[in-house]
Structure 1
């Protein structure tokens, strides 16, 4: 009990430090701004670091409680077990409601401390001060959640000395990705707090030009990258664990992660127009605020218990807190935009729809419509249940039918936008720049037909994928020919690498969704079954029990194509009495052969029923994600000939020297091949 009280006491102490430091830090900034006291403003970073230290202490104590099986804590009684392997025992912290809020809190406090460190020499700047204040308020909010409705250190009921907890959900302890997917996804979710905080600070201070965008560019870019990687890892986990052979099911919690990704992607594209031309200021602020608000809404959907999902958990009062936070964010943000409306007018306008500005605006409209479609399909069943007290389901056909045309138009824009100049494009210019990309599209279409692809939707996707890839490769070739290896560096050129990754993912999804074949096969040890140009033979049906006698694994050992043995299995977690399937996959560049074991087999049987899926191009999903990550890193570094954008409305944040004032039509943030 001494160790138990130590874990709980120090954990709560860490949360108290996080809460107190956040509140005092926010009050210090408000008082410093009110009194114009630079000394107070310079003290603010210290409170950010104290809050981060407190959150880290709380997490360390939670991990210590899990490792030592501290069953005096209710949360450890729920997710802890002496039979859980070490890695999954670490991941057990975020396997249920209270621990996931704790993970969010430490991530948020870490970002707050990082912002304080990054701007420590400019902490007396009001813009930085207000941004830190916003982050302090959000950090304090999650600290309150961890103290109240999501108390991870709440005392549990007394248990017997030989009590052994059930461990985390079986689906969260049978694949290593559970150790990485949630933290990386949270880095994306929480990371968008930084640009959101600077956006609110710009609205409060009236510095509404392009200066704050430059300060948050990399924060937004890396947050978007983490969110992208987290979503892809979630798809990989679904593919490897759930046994249905898919990567995306339009599950409400999957949609909750997609929503901020869509608005965040629109923002990352749209902000280029504001930096270059001083346009779309209200649009960019709205996108950024929407992205952050949707991360809170997604947390509400996941942690409130209002939806049933393999990803969702929690049915306590935390839902009302999160929904209230979402409403406050929306109301305050809209009020600030309305207050500053007259100062948000753009000095320029789009000269022609056939320009890079026009393409970015069309791109934004598509992403926004897509986000609305996903949001409507996700919350509609909740609205029906609340208003009519009946349950309804919005299934995959709704999302597939509406998302397919949007995806096709997006691929077309990815092909056109990179070759468009700013302001206006002539017909001769377009025909010259689109010549080789168009031929790449034709080549991709011919190749697709040659290998047997059919159906208008996948063929259009393949052709446009080749078209868009040709446009991206053209830009990269031009840049590398002029600058050597530095042609890969910079937002525009790195962005083209990201586009290549996205195109690979789009083509792989089109292929796997359109041309997956499946069959249910009954195998026996005396024969060979042929199906889909493959042969399957049952070698044996075996059972294994782990050393702790907590897991029983029934395997059907299948000889695939007379070569390697693959072993789809049914794993029974004896402490919980739950059985889950474990697929076995042969991965290849062209296709995967995906095997699952159907219920009914017993150890020593000479027959077994398996389900077989042949999935084209699945590996290219993960390759595309890797290329996106590389492209993001390249885009994070400034290209050559980059100049800072400033104007009379937004004085530079940098200390020293008067602001540089340029005509807003001359704002430049470009890479060398932007206008060729």
Structure 2
């Protein structure tokens, strides 16, 4: 079995290298027949990676502990769902999943452009994708080989970290993150292709728009699911701790979000060409940097994988990506000159420019806070961590400014906005913001930053709602689709997420209470009644459940689980959920001689809106990739600018037809 897995990895590596060679030869000798072979090599890489993944999955499901990976990360008593998820639960398997998803993307790109595989732009993009695939296949042949075997197979394995076996989201969250991470390799490859071929007009942006939005949507969903998983599993009642692994996923999200906004300016005005290429290239580079940080063991994290020598390979690849990207931008510098300019700061392009500067500042703050401990350790050997106070203090004002621009930008016209037009357009959204503020004050919200955040969230909802209403009036239900409609739905999601974040962070109440059997206490207006405990034995684990009734209604059973292969017991919280607040119940101690239990009870206001907002953002990303039929935006002639202030198009950017213009 291990030999079959290794053979599949080797075949995948050979196919990736063959893809690179045939593309290079085909481009150099102008051989369309060789360039069209890219589709076949892509299928081979997908087949090989799928076989390798199936071999590993079969070894896990059949408890084949002769595989070192299986012995370290699975047991005979691991539930089926978590056995399936064990494939990506540790370092080597996660790289195998990366390769499988990347091969799927390469095949999808080959299919999408099957009639244009001999186009130099597509050929260079496929070549770049094969290079990336070759690198990760190479990792699987050496430093991240998942098919190492043991001379003597143990009777049972050690199993995954218990925290990875404590919630079904283990089967979904990492996959979503990887679909996002790896998905950015497609627009990255087309950016490289555009630089190499010199086809730097706006056409290639339309070719990659859907791929970029899809990757962004997957990454967004993965981040939100990760926060939800943390909230449900870790027992401390939080969902975001500015942990290095969390930050590693946030960094490419910030740069890609900036790109999705600034690329509109390039498509409409021919501006920001160097900036957009830099954002796109940086986004992919940050996914590689994040992979290095989380899989090399160089940073302390509650999510970290075991230390491995894979770090030097990832760091080298990251360096090559950065160097090649910078070199190509420098080489094409003269061709990247933007013909347009910002005529007025009070314009849509002006607001997008400020938006991008804020996103860049946000990313820089997070990057510095994440890598600073690594730099200090490299200098003097001291290990330290930068905590939440730094991130909260530095990112809070930036977040408020971004919320303001999120509400204001859709109300601004291209090139310039008259004062009268601005007053008319902002009146409705401003009233919505005022209503949000008044409701927040009425329910007891205090603190100027929190109140400003509530007001701005309402302003965003009003602004996005106004834009959606205009779109629906013009196109019916199709007004919710396309980049504009889907983007406004995502804006509403971010506003809801902001409300949930601010309320749950600023006004939560946490208590530790000891309860005797039958005793009831009140915490932040909620009654907590202890009804008893239950001890249960399951294969590989002992579970002590505590029965708690909240507000005289639903009975919850938070628990402590002792795994046979791990010494530290793991708490399994239970949450009483409502749109008003959550009552978070976590068991701290059940060993009292008098039969009492020590509970952590956390009341978090409006946190459900954080998850609702996250799902709304994901819905927006889906709606954004649904094609809009109608008018076509010019993609290469920068003189084709939108009408001046006051035209109907000021409220809704032009959308391309289903098939983007050919580059």
Q: If the length of structure 2 is used for normalisation, what is the TM-score?
A: 0.96
Change (3 A) 1:33 1:625: same
Partner of 1:587: 577
Q: How does 1:548-587 map to 2 (within 5 A)?
A: 548=539, 550-587=540-577
Instruction: Please state if 1:176 is matched with 2:151.
Output: no
Partner of 1:674: 652
Partner of 1:333: 325
Change (3 A) 1:174 1:675: closer
Change (3 A) 1:228 1:501: same
Quote how far apart the aligned CAs of 1:576 are.
2.5
Count of aligned pairs:
650
Quote how far apart the aligned CAs of 1:484 are.
1.6
Cα separation, 2, equivalents of 1:312 and 1:643: 47
> Are the counterparts in 2 of residues 523 and 609 from structure 1 also a CA contact under 8 Å?
yes
Q: How does 1:161-560 map to 2 (within 5 A)?
A: 163-546=155-538, 548=539, 550-560=540-550
> Are the counterparts in 1 of residues 22 and 34 from structure 2 also a CA contact under 8 Å?
yes
Cα separation, 1, equivalents of 2:653 and 2:290: 39
Deviation track 1:342-393 (CA, whole Å, cap 9, x = no partner) reads 0000111111111000011101000000000000000000000001111222
* SS, match of residue 379 in structure 1: helix
Quote how far apart the aligned CAs of 1:507 are.
1.1
Instruction: Please state if 1:631 is matched with 2:620.
Output: yes
The list of structure 1 runs, each at least 4 consecutive aligned residues, that deviate by more than 4 angstroms after superposition, is none
Instruction: Please state if 1:53 is matched with 2:47.
Output: yes
Partner of 1:105: 99
Cα separation, 1, equivalents of 2:153 and 2:479: 64
Quote how far apart the aligned CAs of 1:636 are.
1.1
Quote how far apart the aligned CAs of 1:197 are.
0.1
Quote how far apart the aligned CAs of 1:157 are.
3.3
* SS, match of residue 589 in structure 2: coil
* SS, match of residue 594 in structure 1: strand
Quote how far apart the aligned CAs of 1:405 are.
0.2
Partner of 1:21: 15
* SS, match of residue 306 in structure 2: coil
Cα separation, 2, equivalents of 1:432 and 1:577: 64
> Are the counterparts in 1 of residues 269 and 638 from structure 2 also a CA contact under 8 Å?
no
When structure 1 is superposed on structure 2, of 607-616 and 555-564 the one drifting more is 555-564
> Are the counterparts in 1 of residues 532 and 546 from structure 2 also a CA contact under 8 Å?
yes
Quote how far apart the aligned CAs of 1:526 are.
4.2
Partner of 2:72: 78
Deviation track 1:425-471 (CA, whole Å, cap 9, x = no partner) reads 01111001101111111111111111111111110000111111111
> Are the counterparts in 1 of residues 9 and 137 from structure 2 also a CA contact under 8 Å?
yes
Cα separation, 2, equivalents of 1:157 and 1:312: 28
Q: How does 1:640-655 map to 2 (within 5 A)?
A: 640-647=629-636
> Are the counterparts in 2 of residues 262 and 367 from structure 1 also a CA contact under 8 Å?
yes
**Long gaps (5+) in structure 1:** 1-6, 648-661
Cα separation, 2, equivalents of 1:531 and 1:265: 40
Deviation track 1:277-323 (CA, whole Å, cap 9, x = no partner) reads 11100000000000000000000011001112121103111000000
Deviation track 1:90-141 (CA, whole Å, cap 9, x = no partner) reads 1011111111111111111111111111111110000000000000000000
When structure 1 is superposed on structure 2, of 628-637 and 188-197 the one drifting more is 628-637
Deviation track 1:384-441 (CA, whole Å, cap 9, x = no partner) reads 0001111222110000001100010011101110010100001111001101111111
Instruction: Please state if 1:143 is matched with 2:137.
Output: yes
> Are the counterparts in 2 of residues 210 and 275 from structure 1 also a CA contact under 8 Å?
yes
Partner of 1:4: none
**Long gaps (5+) in structure 2:** 655-663
Change (3 A) 1:385 1:164: same
Quote how far apart the aligned CAs of 1:516 are.
0.4
> Are the counterparts in 2 of residues 232 and 625 from structure 1 also a CA contact under 8 Å?
yes
> Are the counterparts in 1 of residues 471 and 652 from structure 2 also a CA contact under 8 Å?
no
Cα separation, 2, equivalents of 1:143 and 1:371: 30
Quote how far apart the aligned CAs of 1:627 are.
1.2
* SS, match of residue 570 in structure 1: strand
Partner of 1:159: 153
Out of 122, 130, 141, which is 2:124 matched to? 130
> Are the counterparts in 2 of residues 469 and 503 from structure 1 also a CA contact under 8 Å?
yes
Partner of 2:657: none
